[in-house]
Copies of this chain bind each other. A is one copy, B any other.
Amino acid sequence: MAISSETGRPEVAFPETPDADAGPPRQKSLTIGAVCKSLIQEFPEISISKIRYLEDQKLLAPRRTQGGYRLYTQDDVQRLRTILRLQRDEFLPLRVIRQELAGGRSESEVGTADGRPVRRAMMTVQGPGSLYSLGDVLEDTGADPKLVHELVEFGVIKGETRSGVRYFDETEREIIRSVNELAKYGVGGRNLRVFRTSADREAALLQSILAPALRSRNPERRKEAVEALENLASVTTHLKHLLLIRDLRKIAK
C-alpha cells in the first residue's frame, strides 16, 4: 500500500508518513543528501557524488520519484553501509563487493565486528524465522507484484496464509529478490523451471541419502541428520557453482 506502482511513485512523496501500523519501524525514504548526512559520522569520506557513482557501478538501485530524485529506503541505506564497510575494512574492490552482495552476503553479516564466521541467516534448514507481508517484501526487494504473484502461482514460493493474509519468510523473500535480479538480465518465466527442477532433483537425492537417519526415532540422530543436510546443501551449492564457472569459462573463451 505504501508504494503505488511500478513507476516508483510513493503515495506520500518525501519522508514517508511514519504510519502507525505494523510493529517494525516503517520505511522512511531519504533523499541522497539526507543519506549522506546520516552516514557521514561513520564514513567521513562519503559524498553525494560517491553515492551516485556507486549506483552507476550497479551497487545500488534506489527508487526514484516522478521527478527523478533518488529515494533511499532504510534497507538501501543499510546496503550502502555494508558496501562502505567492505571497502574500508576489507579492502574489497567494488567489482567484488557487487558479487558478494549478489550472492547473498547480506548486511548484518559484515558489520558486527566479528572475525570470520559469516553465518548465513536464511541459509539454515531449521526454524521458521520472521514473516513478511507482501508489502514488506515488495518494498524490500523492489520487485513487481506481478512477479511475486507468478512465483506463487508456479509454486516456487507459497507463503503462509494467516487470517486471510499471505506472509512470506526470509528465504522466500530472498528468492523473490534473486528472481527479481535475474529478471533485470532478462532471465525469467519458464527459465526459472530449470532452477526449480534442479533444486527438486537435488533435494530428492539428498533426502534419499539421509532418509534412514531422518526417519529415525532417535532425536539425537535426527538432529545429526538435519545438520548433515545443511552441510551437504552448502557443499553441493559450492560444487555446482564451481561447475558452472567451469562451463562459463569455456563460453567466455
Interfacial residues, chain A to chain B (CB-CB below 8 A):
90-93, 95-96, 98-99, 102-104, 115-116, 118-120, 122-126, 156-157, 171-172, 174-175, 178-179, 181-182, 185-187, 191, 194-196, 198-203, 205-207, 209, 214, 226-252
Contact = CB atoms under 8 A, between A and B. Distances in A.
A210 to B, nearest CB: 8
B236 A195 contact: yes
A235 B105 CA distance: 11
A195 B243 contact: yes
A156 B243 contact: yes
A128 to B, nearest CB: 9
Copies of this chain, tallied across the complex:
2
B174 A242 contact: yes
A139 B205 CA distance: 29
Determine which residue in A103, A172, A230 has the highest number of CB atoms from chain B within 10 A of its CB, and name it.
Answer: A103
Given A126-B252, A185-B228, 19 more contacts: A91-B92, A95-B227, A103-B234, A123-B241, A125-B249, A125-B252, A174-B242, A175-B239, A178-B235, A179-B239, A185-B231, A187-B205, A187-B236, A195-B240, A203-B250, A206-B251, A207-B251, A233-B248, A237-B241
A68 to B, nearest CB: 24
Contacts of A179: 239
A235 B203 CA distance: 19
Contact of A194 (B120, B201, B228): B201
B205 A191 contact: yes
